[in-house]
Amino acid sequence: MSEFTIERVKTGIPGLDELIEGGFPKGDTILVAGKAGTGKSILATQFLYNGAVTYDEAGVLVTLEEAPKMIRRNMLRFGMDLKKLEEEGKLAVVDLSPSKEATPVTIGEYPSFDLSGLEAIIMNHVKKLGAKRIVLDTLSIMAYKFKSRDILREEFFKLAAHLTDEGRTLVLTSEIPEQHDGLGVFDIEAFLASGVIVLYNEKISETSRSRSIEVLKLRGSQHSSRIHSMRITEDGIRVFPGEIGSG
């Protein structure tokens, strides 16, 4: 490999890697943004699943929204058995969802917003598994709570920098509100990330919607600049590089 080649982390999501020169740049922070129900959690979880099953890279899924048992159940529909991977030590699901009765970590409230407790918990799992892939689903939930954008930005930046140390690749998800165009509100997450992927599920007629995916930015990569069709099939997310979708 030449010294000019960026090492890639394959997502293994059918059709996606070929849009991004083979995968995410190793050690980067990638943001997966989209409105509700566009497939952000599935895509992020599939990235971890493929890492563990196909690429021998353990992963940590930090869930701040959905309860782990719902995630396991939903992914099993795609034939992805997370429980098995957890038992094999290839995946850890860190439950920070509201469904959890006793939250194992407190995130300091404004003005003393502090993510070091969260970082310690995640790093504990990362070390145990030797994880190379981390997903935080979703940052939006924290972003809503805190008023100071400056502190938030600084804390998120530190967290992402520490998590991606030693070549770990981090995927963050962020929800774009229904009435919102573009990524404006998500400047913080987008600022953190060296890559931004946007998922759509747009109404194309009175009676139907169509899913698509756009690589908005990916530093150091000559990525596709088109919006491509995407489907959620019985095997999970599949991207169709040859089909142009509408965003």
Ligand X SMILES: Nc1ncnc2c1ncn2[C@@H]1O[C@H](COP(=O)(O)OP(=O)(O)OP(=O)(O)O)[C@@H](O)[C@H]1O
Which residues sit at the interface with ligand X, rule CB under 6 A?
34, 36-42, 74, 77, 175, 232
| Amino acid letter, 85 | L
Q: Which residue has tokens 């992914």?
A: 75
Query: Smallest distance, Å, CB 87 to ligand X?
Result: 23
Query: Smallest distance, Å, CB 171 to Mg ion?
Result: 12
CB of 8 or CB of 231, closer to ligand X:
231
Residue 220 binding result from ligand X, Mg ion, none, given CB thresholds of 5 to 8 Å by partner type: none
CB of 65 or CB of 86, closer to ligand X:
65
CB of 25 or CB of 34, closer to Mg ion:
34
DSSP string, 35-63: STTSSHHHHHHHHHHHHHHHS---EEEEE
Query: Smallest distance, Å, CB 141 to Mg ion?
Result: 10
174 near Mg ion (CB under 5 A): no
Query: Smallest distance, Å, CB 49 to ligand X?
Result: 13
Q: What residues numbered 34-63 form the site for Mg ion, per CB under 5 A?
A: 40-41
The two structure tokens encoding residue 14: 């059918």
Residue 34 binding result from Mg ion, ligand X, none, given CB thresholds of 5 to 8 Å by partner type: ligand X
CB of 53 or CB of 141, closer to Mg ion:
141
CB of 26 or CB of 35, closer to Mg ion:
35
CB of 153 or CB of 231, closer to ligand X:
231
The two structure tokens encoding residue 73: 């159940």
Strand, coil or helix: 170: strand
Asked if 17 and 10 touch (Cβ cutoff 8 Å), the reply is yes
Query: Smallest distance, Å, CB 137 to Mg ion?
Result: 6
Strand partners, 211: 201
Residue 77 binding result from ligand X, Mg ion, none, given CB thresholds of 5 to 8 Å by partner type: ligand X
Residue 38 binding result from Mg ion, ligand X, none, given CB thresholds of 5 to 8 Å by partner type: ligand X
Beta strands in the chain (DSSP E): 8-9, 24-25, 29-34, 59-63, 91-95, 133-137, 169-175, 195-205, 208-218, 227-233, 236-244
Alpha carbons 13 and 15: distance in angstroms, whole number: 6
Query: Smallest distance, Å, CB 149 to ligand X?
Result: 22
Query: Smallest distance, Å, CB 199 to Mg ion?
Result: 10
CB of 39 or CB of 59, closer to ligand X:
39
CA angle 233, 216, 156 (to 5 degrees): 100
How many other CB atoms are there within 10 angstroms of residue 148's CB atom?
12
The two structure tokens encoding residue 169: 């690749």
Binding site for Mg ion (CB under 5 A): 40-41
